[in-house]
Amino acid sequence: MSERAAPVTATEEQYDDQDPARDAREPADTTAETESEPERHPVTTGAEAVVRALENAGVEHAFGVQGGAIMPVYDALYDSEIHHVTMAHEQGASHAADAYGIVSGEPGICLATSGPGATNLVTGLADADMDSDPVVALTGQVPTEFVGNDAFQETDTTGVTTPVTKDNTFSSEPDRVGTDVSEAFALAREGRPGPTLVDLPKDVTNAETDREPDEPAVPRTYEVQERADPETVDAAAGRIENAQRPIMLLGGGVIKGEASEACREFATEHEIPVVTTMPGIGSFPEDHELSMEMAGMHGTGYANMAITHCDTMIAVGTRFDDRLTGGIETFAPDAEIIHVDIDPAEISKNIRADYPLVGDAGTVVSQLAEAVDASPKATKWRAQCQQWKSDYSMAYDAPEDEPIKPQFVVEALDEATSDRAVVTTGVGQHQMWACQYWTYTEPRTWVSSHGLGTMGYGLPAAIGARFAADDDQEVVCIDGDGSFLMTLQGLSVAVRENLDITVAVLNNEYIGMVRQWQDAFFDGRHSASDYGWMPEFDKLAEAFGAAGFRIDDYDEVADTIDDALAYDGPSVIDVHIDPQANVYPMVPSGGDNGQFALTEDQL
């Protein structure tokens, strides 16, 4: 990965003319940590306090774009060890930060200037908000005296982002600004994670201050309950012991709460079949016998049968999104629901919880494990689940004389990479094939836009993921042609930073998911979904300075994938797939999960 410049440390002379008291105010912990830690000079401006807050929080990377109102912060970054990745578009910065947060578990940082810079971040913030991903956004703002006057590049950023952030702050005090950033960082990751934003007026960041930021801490009105009510835990344990058809439903909260291990132990100890939501992919190994894989609109048939017929559901860290539940009336209608969630507002929001367990996913699952004395007697049920796995197995036709099937490409990529490879996607059919035909076994390896469904997420997410992943983890972006077109300017960033990522564009010259719905529900009228003028993505990649590859035939698939993965830097494979390929199984919106269609005729 990229070489970083040696940190610039303050020289004695720089501070010669200053108040000696300031020099004495050395932060206590700077020398204590490690020998190699660079000496930090005391902060002198609001902007330095902002950067110091990030450093104190352990931030190593930040993604952003320069601009007038954020310039003081960038000036302070110049002297920092934090590696700033200059993005081609702020939307990319917020997606990269989001993916960084998913893969690392620590908040991803994005920066933008006021006005258009800030508004360009909004899609990524909304995305992070829907998926509860930890992100901290720092936006420049016009000087306080111009706020409210429609000044150049002024936008009411806190107003615009209130509905799509966990919390946001207009930072108005030079002495507070560092602490505001520390607090935003702590809030982004505490409890139910989410995006936070600090709006930074230029006069505040430019102003003199010697106030070191406080350590990251959440504000006092923010309370998180770690342990669930013991009585309800006991009641739920009783229900589990007596269950005849139990399942565990694992959502994204399992991964965010680092509860995968606890859930795996619980499921295997009591032999309970496991389904995941889309954000929950990776929480349980999909190659395990108990795994029923993903449920919901494009989930496996067996997961949807299991979810529909269970009598006890241990749902952990899921918000029961409609893409999972289908119609509420027919969702797990026989099941008593044990719902574990750190956010009380998720309990009984969409599906009524019979056993509400508010608390940290890992802690509560351990509490349950402790309380359950006997495994449910569910031999018949497990056999039934295995039967469904063979009845509704995932498969596809791939005749040699037809264009390449996308499922084949996804499987080939999976085979060519390690178990810990990180997959990012855009949104559409390719995203669903990436769910269905890749076998995920580890948490934090599946990076996608779930709740918001943001086309264009894949490439910037791969950039962010690359910085968070270990060097031996491959980062693969499975993208759609339409999705890739939306943010492919990010290739310039990947080339500049020499990021080892592989993008496979499943090119069907359609915005395929829309075409599939038009075929199913709009008499095949392909209004605005036919992209018959796609650029040649391999050549485009080369124009950016990346490696370009193209696949037209089955016999090119394996070798080309190997070449692209072997290339040390960004590579793009333009894969020409069957434009008519469709995603099945499918539960039509609001439908009954048990009535999933296996073909178009069954819709």
Partner 1 sequence: MTHGLDGPAPEERPTPAGRRNKQGIRIDPEIEAKREPRRTVISVLVEHEPGVLSDVSGLFSRRQFNIESLTVGPTAEDGRARITLVVEEPDPGIDQVKKQLRKLLPVIAVRELEPDAMRRELALVKVNAERPDRVAAVADMYDAKTVDSSPETATFEITGARQKIEAAIETFGQFGIREIARTGTTALARGTDDTAAPPTESSAAEANQTQQFTQPTDDD
Cα–Cα distance for residue pair 462/453, rounded to 1 Å? 16
Pattern 130-159, partner 1, x by CB under 8 A: ----------------------------xx
Residue among 225 and 375 whose Cβ is closer to partner 1: 225
User: For 161, which DSSP code?
Assistant: H
Q: Which does 275 bind (CB under 5 to 8 A by kind): partner 1, ligand TPP, none?
A: none
**585 preceded by a cis bond (ω within 30 of 0):** yes
Nearest to 250 by CA among 102, 443, 469, 445: 443
Query: Which two structure tokens, joined as six digits, stand for 189?
Result: 């990751």
- With contact defined as beta carbons under 8 Å apart, do 185 and 54 qualify? yes
Shortest CB 369 distance to partner 1, Å: 20
Say what the alpha-carbon torsion angle 87, 93, 95, 99 is, to the nearest 10 degrees: 90
Query: Which two structure tokens, joined as six digits, stand for 228?
Result: 């669930």
Q: Which amino acid is at 455?
A: M
Shortest CB 404 distance to partner 1, Å: 11
Residue among 89 and 192 whose Cβ is closer to partner 1: 192
* Order of strands across the sheet that contains 475-480: 446-447, 422-425, 475-480, 501-507, 571-576, 547-551
| 152 is known as an active-site residue | yes
Surface-to-core class of residue 11, CB atoms within 10 Å of its CB (0-12 exposed, 13-18 middle, 19+ buried): exposed
108-112 and 61-64: which strand pairing? parallel
- From 48, 63, 183, 202, active-site residue: 202
| 153 is known as an active-site residue | yes
- With contact defined as beta carbons under 8 Å apart, do 197 and 161 qualify? yes
| 202 is known as an active-site residue | yes
Among 2, 379, 580, 602, binds partner 1 (CB under 8 A): 602
Nearest to 285 by CA among 306, 264, 257: 264
Binding site for ligand TPP (CB under 6 A): 426-430, 453-456, 480-483, 506, 508, 510-514
Query: Which two structure tokens, joined as six digits, stand for 46?
Result: 């609001």
Q: Identify residues 400-459 at the interface with partner 1 (CB under 8 A).
A: 408
* 503 beta partners: 477, 572
Pattern 284-323, partner 1, x by CB under 8 A: -----------------x---x--xx----------x---
Window contacting partner 1 (CB under 8 A); options: 112-120, 287-295, 531-539, 588-596? 588-596
Cα–Cα distance for residue pair 461/390, rounded to 1 Å? 35
Residue among 352 and 377 whose Cβ is closer to partner 1: 352
Q: Which does 429 bind (CB under 5 to 8 A by kind): partner 1, ligand TPP, none?
A: ligand TPP
- With contact defined as beta carbons under 8 Å apart, do 417 and 502 qualify? no
- With contact defined as beta carbons under 8 Å apart, do 81 and 113 qualify? no
Shortest CB 428 distance to ligand TPP, Å: 2
Q: Which does 455 bind (CB under 5 to 8 A by kind): ligand TPP, partner 1, none?
A: ligand TPP
- From 90, 286, 293, 474, active-site residue: 90
Among 74, 331, 438, 544, binds partner 1 (CB under 8 A): 331
| 513 is known as an active-site residue | yes
Among 37, 230, 598, 600, binds partner 1 (CB under 8 A): 598
Q: Which does 482 bind (CB under 5 to 8 A by kind): partner 1, ligand TPP, none?
A: ligand TPP
* 199 beta partners: 139, 170
Among 12, 13, 17, 223, binds partner 1 (CB under 8 A): 223
- From 486, 513, 534, 586, active-site residue: 513
Shortest CB 531 distance to partner 1, Å: 26
Residue among 11 and 221 whose Cβ is closer to partner 1: 221
**Residue 229 engages partner 1 in binding (rule: CB under 8 A):** yes
User: For 104, which DSSP code?
Assistant: H
Q: Which does 544 bind (CB under 5 to 8 A by kind): ligand TPP, partner 1, none?
A: none
- With contact defined as beta carbons under 8 Å apart, do 341 and 191 qualify? no
- With contact defined as beta carbons under 8 Å apart, do 264 and 270 qualify? no
Q: Which amino acid is at 560?
A: T
Active-site residue numbers? 90, 152-153, 202, 513
Task: Give the interface with partner 1 as residue ranges (CB under 8 A).
Answer: 158-159, 162-163, 167, 170, 187, 219, 221-223, 225, 229, 232, 301, 305, 308-309, 320, 328-331, 333-336, 343-345, 347-352, 356, 358-359, 391-399, 408, 584-585, 592, 594-599, 602
